[in-house]
Structures are given as structure tokens and as C-alpha cells.
Amino acid sequence: MLSSLEAFGPPFCRTLPWALVLSLAAGCTVPAPAPARPDTAPTTAATPATPPAPGNAVLFEADLVTALLAYADRLRSLPGPELAQEIARLGNAASAGDQLRLALALSQTRQLHDLVRAQDLLQRALANNSEDARPLHALARLLAARFAEQRRVEDQLDRQNQQVRDLQRRLEQTQDKLDALKEIERSLSSRPPAAPASSPRGRTRPPGP
């Protein structure tokens, strides 16, 4: 075989070992991995949580408002002692739901100081921006407007009642004065008339003996 290779001449003999080395090196080389396709590339990003459906939030808010309206309707039929017990049971009303319940109960007493306290509770509920309180803000604003109108009417009614009381007092004082004048008139009319005084000149002398 060497003789056959030598037939090609020295240049070919010198280049042959390098050609063998390069071919062997090329055969041992590990091919580079093909780039991953975009559609099959693995992802390490966390899947974001699915936000609650808007329809579910609306239903949740509607359930809360419906429950409070049913509670307000039940309060209307409570007698005075049971209403007072319900107000005492709610106490300080820390949550927004209890604050609205206590405000509704206080509005049934028809007392001005209770209505003022109910308005303060509604303002506290409106200032609460928690997830439990926000669904009740619309109802709280509606009740606040209603209580403000109720307070205006009751203030006007109190002023009218005070005016009526003042007028009644003046009428009683006038009647007392009239009764006193009538009593004086009766006392004067009940006295006997005074006898007329006789004049000395008109006195007749008794006949002599």
C-alpha cells in the first residue's frame, strides 16, 4: 500500500496524516444541540392567579345588601324592649356590617340623639376601605342621605313642638289673667250697696210736747 501511496508523490504523503487527524476529530465532535422551538420552550414564569370574576363580586355585594335590607325590615316589627336589647347586643359595632345594623336599629327609636349616633356609624363605615366594607358603601351612602333628611324633618318637628308649647304656655297665662279679672268682678258684684249718707240740714226735728 505504501508503494501505491508513494506513486502520488511526496506532497500527498505529507498531507495525508493531517487529513486523517482532521477526519477523526470531526467524527468525535459532539454536535451542538438544536435551538429550542419557541412553541416548545419550557417556561419557568409562575402562572398569575386568576382574578375573581366580576359577576361573582356583584352577586356577593347583592347578597350583603339583601341581608341588611331583610334585617331592617325585621327591626320595624320589634317592640321597644326587644329593640333596646338588639342595640345593646350590637355594642360598639367594630365591623362595617355591624355598624350598618346598629345604625338601622338606632334609627327606629325616633330619638334625635340616637339618629346622630347612627349618622356617625355610617361615616365610620364609609371611611373603612377594607374588602368587607367596600361592598356596603353604596348602601351606607343611601342610608346617610335618608338619615340626614330624617334628622332635618325631626329638627323641624321639634321646633314646631316647642312653638306649640310656648303658645300653650302663653294661652294658659292669659287664661289665668282672665280668671283673676272675673274673680275680681264677682267679688265686687257680691258686695251690698252702700246706704246713702243723710245731710244734717235735711234732718227733721221730732215734734215737741
pLDDT in tens, 80-123: 899 999 999 998 888 999 999 999 999 999 888 999 999 999 99
Domain residue limits, the chain: 56-147
Cell numbers that stand for 111 in this block? 330619638
In terms of pTM, does the model score above 0.85?
A: no
Return the pLDDT at 162: 93
Cell numbers that stand for 167 in this block? 303658645
Least confident of 42-46, 125-129, 159-163, 180-184: 42-46
Can you tell me the distance from the alpha carbon of 1 to that of 140, in angstroms, rounded to the nearest whole number? 106
Can you tell me the distance from the alpha carbon of 161 to that of 201, in angstroms, rounded to the nearest whole number? 72
pLDDT higher at 60 or 167: 167
Return the pLDDT at 204: 55
**Does residue 136 contact residue 97 with C-beta atoms inside 8 Å?**
yes
Mean pLDDT of the chain: 75
pLDDT higher than threshold 90 for residue 173 = yes
The string of pLDDT tens digits covering residues 7-49 is 444 444 444 444 444 444 444 444 444 444 544 444 444 444 4
**Does residue 105 contact residue 75 with C-beta atoms inside 8 Å?**
yes
pLDDT band at 190 (very low <50, low <70, confident <90, very high): confident
Through-space distance between the first and last CA atoms of the chain, rounded to whole angstroms: 224
Report the share of the chain in percent with pLDDT over 90.
38
Return the pLDDT at 189: 80
pLDDT band at 155 (very low <50, low <70, confident <90, very high): confident
Least confident of 67-81, 153-167, 180-194: 180-194
DSSP string spanning the chain?
-HHHHHTT-HHHHHHHHHHHHHHHHHHHPPPPPPPPPTTT----SPPPPPPPPHHHHHHHHHHHHHHHHHHHHHHHT--HHHHHHHHHHHTT--SHHHHHHHHHHHHTS--HHHHHHHHHHHHHHHH--STTTGGGHHHHHHHHHHHHHHHHHHHHHHHHHHHHHHHHHHHHHHHHHHHHHHHHHHHHHTSPPPPPPPPSTTPPPPPP-
Residue 144: closest CA among 122, 116, 128: 122
Q: Helix 96-107 and helix 112-127: axis angle, to 10°?
A: 160
